[in-house]
Amino acid sequence: MKLLLKTFIVMLFLFLANSLYANEPIKNKIDSLDECIVTLKDGSALIGKIISSNSVEIKLQTISGVITINQSNIVSIVLKKNSIKYNNYNQNYNQNYNSTNERFGNYDKPPSIEVNHKYFWNNNYMGIKKNEFYFQNIWVLYNGLDYGISDNFSIGGGLLFLGVAGFVNIHARAQIELTENFSMGLAYNYFVASSFYDFNDRPANLGFMSGGFTYGNAKANISVSGGKFQVPNDRSNSFNTNPNKMGLIFCGSLKLNSNLNLITDNILMDKTLNLNCLGMRINSTKSTFDVGIMHFGNDNSSESSFNLIPYLAMNYKIR
């Protein structure tokens, strides 16, 4: 009787130990040649044999080839033959395989840099995060910087040279996120021109104080701002704020795929000056490139209707 009891206890202990080990993730035992199920942080899973591993990554031999996976993205690695959680995985594997393979086919490629705070000329109210730093070049002639002092406030500026004329731009923006897809804020944008350059018999200095909102997210959003212009009152560099000079800014961005955005950027300045841009943003691993058409005109439609200028720009995220 005692022998039978001892035998039963030993068998029970071995059964429990085997059960615990069967469900234990083998993240630290990934040198097994058995087929494994690798669960990732996004909820997807991959099936294959681990052919090599280190503290940084593993290489998984799947039916479509070898996939490299960062250790930081792995939730668990379980032997397929011992898995309980994925008993029915093979039933759905064929129909889910194509989408899973498509997502992880380019797993080793670095992600594209995205510039989500800015359209062509104007920023939105989703804002630049604290310590983010961006460089922008337009037509080679304009070079500007944007920097996030905090998650709610950013500053920027740049230089533009057109022949003998020089322009200095300074701008600041404050915003607050009210909901996940809705932000509001205030912005100020000012261009200072060299005193020897005239525009319509006046110095070309221009300032714009505006307030508005952004609705949407990085995939699709619109921004609407309205405000008051500062325009020169004579040939000197003195300025008066004219309450009749009101303006509207309307911008939008739509993400077509991971490497391409459709962008529109429109400034309407009380018929004094209209600036309309439509084009694409191409995202690469180091920079983004903007290509589009810009219409620049004023209230004289006969002079401005055919005023179309190519828009070319590059954005680079310094950090």
Domain residue extents for the chain = 2-104, 133-317
Band of pLDDT at residue 92, cut at 50, 70 and 90: very low
Model confidence at 201: pLDDT above 80 = no
Lowest-confidence segment of 175-179, 185-189, 243-247 by average pLDDT:
243-247
Of the pLDDT bands very low, low, confident and very high (cuts 50, 70, 90), residue 66 is confident
Which residues share a beta bridge with 280?
262, 291
pLDDT of residue 203: 52
Q: pLDDT tier at 84 (50, 70, 90 boundaries)?
A: very low
> What pLDDT was estimated at residue 255?
92
What pLDDT is recorded for position 53?
Answer: 84
- Tell me what pLDDT residue 90 has: 45
Is 312 a residue whose pLDDT tops 90? yes
Q: Name the token pair of 148.
A: 């996030």
Q: Given this model, what pLDDT does residue 153 score?
A: 95
The whole-number pLDDT of residue 252 equals 95
Q: Which CATH superfamily is domain 133-317 in?
A: monomeric porin ompg (2.40.160.40)
When pLDDT is cut at 50, 70 and 90, the band that residue 229 belongs to is confident
As a whole number, mean pLDDT of residues 283-293 equals 91
Chain-centre distance of CA 39, in angstroms? 26
**82 pLDDT more than 70:** no
For position 199, what pLDDT does the model report?
47
Is 80 exceeded by the pLDDT of residue 225? Answer: yes
Query: Per the structure block, which two tokens stand in for 13?
Result: 């202990």
Closest C-alpha among 240, 142, 235 to residue 196: 235
Q: Is the pLDDT at 198 greater than 70, yes or no?
A: no
Lowest mean pLDDT among 87-101, 176-190, 274-288: 87-101
Q: What is the pLDDT of residue 206?
A: 74
> Which of 39-48, 86-95, 120-129, 202-211 has the largest mean confidence?
120-129
Q: What is residue 75's predicted lDDT score, i.e. its pLDDT?
A: 85
44 against 313, higher pLDDT? 313
Cβ contact 224:264 at 8 Å: no
pLDDT in the model for residue 55: 80
pLDDT of residue 109: 55
As beta bridge partners, residue 58 has 53, 69
CATH architecture of 2-104: Roll (2.30)
* pLDDT the model gives residue 25: 42
Q: What's the whole-number average pLDDT of the chain?
A: 76
Residue 272 has pLDDT above 90, yes or no: no
Q: What b/e sequence results for 4-38 when a residue is b if at least 16 CB atoms lie within 10 Å of its CB, and e otherwise? A: eeeeeeeeeeeeeeeeeeeeebbeeebeeeeebbb
- Spatial strand order of the sheet with 35-40 comes to 65-70, 57-62, 45-53, 35-40, 74-79
Please give the pLDDT value at position 179: 92
